Amino acid sequence: MLIVMEKNATPQQIDAVSKMVEKRGYEARPIPGGDRVSICVLRNKGAVDTASFIGMAGVKDLIPVTRPYKLVSRESQSEDTVIQVGDVAIGNGHQTLIAGPCAIEGEAQALTIAAKVKAAGAHMFRGGAFKPRTSPYSFQGLGVEGLKILAKVRNDIGLPVVTEVMDLDTFDVVEEYADIIQIGTRNMQNFSLLRRAGRSHRPVMLKRGMAATIDEWLMAAEYIMEGGNTQVILCERGVRTFVHHSRNTLDLSAVPYVQKESHLPIIIDPSHAAGRRDQVIPLARASAAVGAHGLMVEVHHQPDQALSDGAQSLFPDQFEKLCQQVRHISDLF
Ligand code: PEP
Ligand code: MN
């Protein structure tokens, strides 16, 4: 249930309602909104008895939350969440472009690509330092050295950085260097990792599991929010289907569905959806047209020499074209 407070409710009234929620054996989670506070009631099994709250000072309305995800749901927060990373905003009304190589391979590679994507219009830089690879014989990323290169990119080029965390052991160090922590498709339901992300002060980009339903994905986001971290960005990256013409199948309808169900920003990664360069720009255009809040795209200056995902990496001039086209499309809204 959501307890909507009056616009002029005092902190004492909000506190009294929260205490009453806790007295009933539930957890109270105040959600500050644009012009009023709402208190989300968590950990109730079944309907909450409204009688104790109806007459309390400062209470305006009691709204049942019908979805299994509470904090993530639009029922508990009607306004879109906008996440601010330095000067860059992600969410309602913004089209945020994140670009960079699949993996950080060295300082020169990262700085070269970062300068090019920035010039083309990227707002943030991406690059994996810890890479989840299907084969243990494939390049696994540079680890902490890769994170230090990302810090240099942020410093020298002036782009905030997104990088993936793979496990609990390396969470602290990734958190130290990343502006946004990415949780990849393979870890979407790694609940201990989600709980740790819930205690982080960094925004978390949660990619959709490769065979996850949207309910499962939103419940994974709920783990992070339940831990206290309200800064969650969802990233649709395609799901596995029977097709061979693309690496995954980009689920464009996830965008309007998620936007109806949740207040969290949702961006699209057309690179991992496509798995091949020739489909990335068309899918990026479609992503902007369907109303995604941004894109994350793999770009490499020498894709034929990339240590991972070269086949789906755009050349920098292609990324520039993508930015121009996407800008035209988002201007239509
Ligand atoms: C990535 O972004 O480099 C990545 C590994 O993505 P995903 O988890 O979507 O496969
Ligand atoms: Mn990749």
User: What pTM value is reported for the model?
Assistant: 0.96
Ligand 1 atom with minimal separation from the 207 CA: 9
Distance 184 CA to ligand 1 centre (A): 5
Question: What does the H/E/C string look like for 199-264?
Answer: CCCCCEEEECCCCCCHHHHHHHHHHHHHCCCCCEEEEECCECCCCCCCCCECCCCHHHHHHHHECC
CA atoms of 321 and 246, how far apart (whole Å): 22
Ligand 1 atom with minimal separation from the 208 CA: 9
Distance 153 CA to ligand 2 centre (A): 19
Burial class (CB in 10 A: 0-12, 13-18, 19+), 261: middle
Taking 90 as the threshold, does the pLDDT of residue 99 lie above it?
yes
The C-alpha angle with vertex 157 and arms to 156 and 159, in degrees rounded to 5, equals: 120
The candidate with the shortest Cα–Cα distance to 159, out of 315, 286, 326, 296, is 296
Average pLDDT, rounded, for the chain = 97
Show the tokens assigned to 237: 């990256």
| H helix or E strand, kind and range, residue 279 | helix 277-290
Query: How much is the average pLDDT of 158-182?
Result: 98
Q: Whose CA is nearest to atom 10 of ligand 1?
A: 185
Distance 217 CA to ligand 1 centre (A): 15
* Domains of the chain and any CATH numbers: 2-63 (3.30.70.1140), 83-330 (3.20.20.70)
Taking 90 as the threshold, does the pLDDT of residue 106 lie above it?
yes
Q: Whose CA is nearest to atom 1 of ligand 1?
A: 102
Q: Which of 162, 269, 295, 298 to mutate to test the pocket of ligand 1 (most atoms within 8 A of CB)?
A: 269
Confidence of residue 84 (pLDDT cuts 50, 70, 90): very high
Ligand 1 binding pocket, CB closer than 6 Å: 102, 128, 132, 184-185, 207, 237, 269, 272
Q: Would you state the pLDDT for residue 46?
A: 85
Torsion of CA 110, 116, 120, 122, to 10 degrees: 20
Phi (first) and psi of residue 316, to 5 degrees: -55, -35
Distance 138 CA to ligand 2 centre (A): 12
Q: Would you state the pLDDT for residue 49?
A: 87
Ligand 1 atom with minimal separation from the 308 CA: 3
Distance 29 CA to ligand 1 centre (A): 32
What does the pLDDT look like over 26-67, one tens digit per residue? 999 999 888 899 999 999 988 888 998 989 999 999 999 889
Q: Which of 185, 217, 280 to mutate to test the pocket of ligand 1 (most atoms within 8 A of CB)?
A: 185
Distance 237 CA to ligand 2 centre (A): 11
What does the pLDDT look like over 229-255, one tens digit per residue? 999 999 999 999 999 999 999 999 999
Q: Whose CA is nearest to atom 9 of ligand 1?
A: 185
Q: Determine what percent of the chain falls in helix, strand and coil, rounding each to the nearest 5.
A: 40, 20, 40
Distance 275 CA to ligand 2 centre (A): 9
Taking 90 as the threshold, does the pLDDT of residue 309 lie above it?
yes
Residues making up the chain, counted from first to last: 333
